[in-house]
Chains A and B, each alone.
Chain A
Amino acid sequence: DAGITQSPRHKVTETGTPVTLRCHQTENHRYMYWYRQDPGHGLRLIHYSYGVKDTDKGEVSDGYSVSRSKTEDFLLTLESATSSQTSVYFCAISSRTGRETQYFGPGTRLLVL
């Protein structure tokens, strides 16, 4: 899986609690992405990063924040989890530009009760 790990792999949490998901890469790629995958929607971009401390919003960014203090780590925070954020979250990386090949992590299954 191209040197990408995600943690945790599974998480159950309660509505209203903050949750942080971590993506770690060993490829030194510049671009990192967070997606969520829901049945019938394919993958939807939440936030992405084009360098350390450089981030931007995606299609479904409301209720999420991100941080990237090191090249290898990209954190996704659900500020106050809601049931609608129950999903599978994927991290991806890309080397040259975001429009080139992306390499995906194994995913994190999040259940918000």
Chain B
Amino acid sequence: SQQGEEDPQALSIQEGENATMNCSYKTSINNLQWYRQNSGRGLVHLILIRSNEREKHSGRLRVTLDTSKKSSSLLITASRAADTASYFCATDDKEYGNKLVFGAGTILRVKS
């Protein structure tokens, strides 16, 4: 069963705008991660946020985590055409041990 569920399923924005994607999960976690996948390629790790952290930044990425609501958001600021990709959240779900559980992803299209 899937742990993370991303919202929206698809997002289309203009270059320069900000993009926000959300992830909800069901159980207790140690970490939540975000990955990017360009068309036809493998996933690439973007950022990891631990359960005792509330916000984390990496370049144009900002991730927040609310463990009380079991949700996370990924914000990409000043988006570029090269940000066009699918974005997945993944949680480590304490019940499943040393494994990650991925959501179905958000497809982001940045129009130039």
A contact set with B: CB distance below 8 Å: 1, 4, 31, 33, 35, 40-45, 48, 50, 58-59, 90, 92, 97-107
- Least Cβ–Cβ distance between B71 and chain A, in angstroms: 17
Bound Cα distance from A89 to B88, whole angstroms: 16
A43 to B4, CA, bound (A): 11
Q: B98 contacts which of A31, A59, A101, A105 (Cβ < 8 Å)?
A: A31
CB distance from A92 to the nearest CB of B (A): 8
Which listed segment binds A: B12-20, B42-50, B55-63, B77-85?
B42-50
In the complex, the number of residue pairs spanning A and B with C-beta atoms less than 8 Å apart equals: 63
Chain B facing A: main interface SS: loop
Interface residues of B in 1-40 (CB under 8 A from A): 1-2, 4, 30-31, 33, 35, 40
A101-B30 Cα distance, complex, nearest whole Å? 12
List the interface of chain B (C-beta within 8 A of A). 1-2, 4, 30-31, 33, 35, 40-45, 48, 88, 90, 92, 97-105
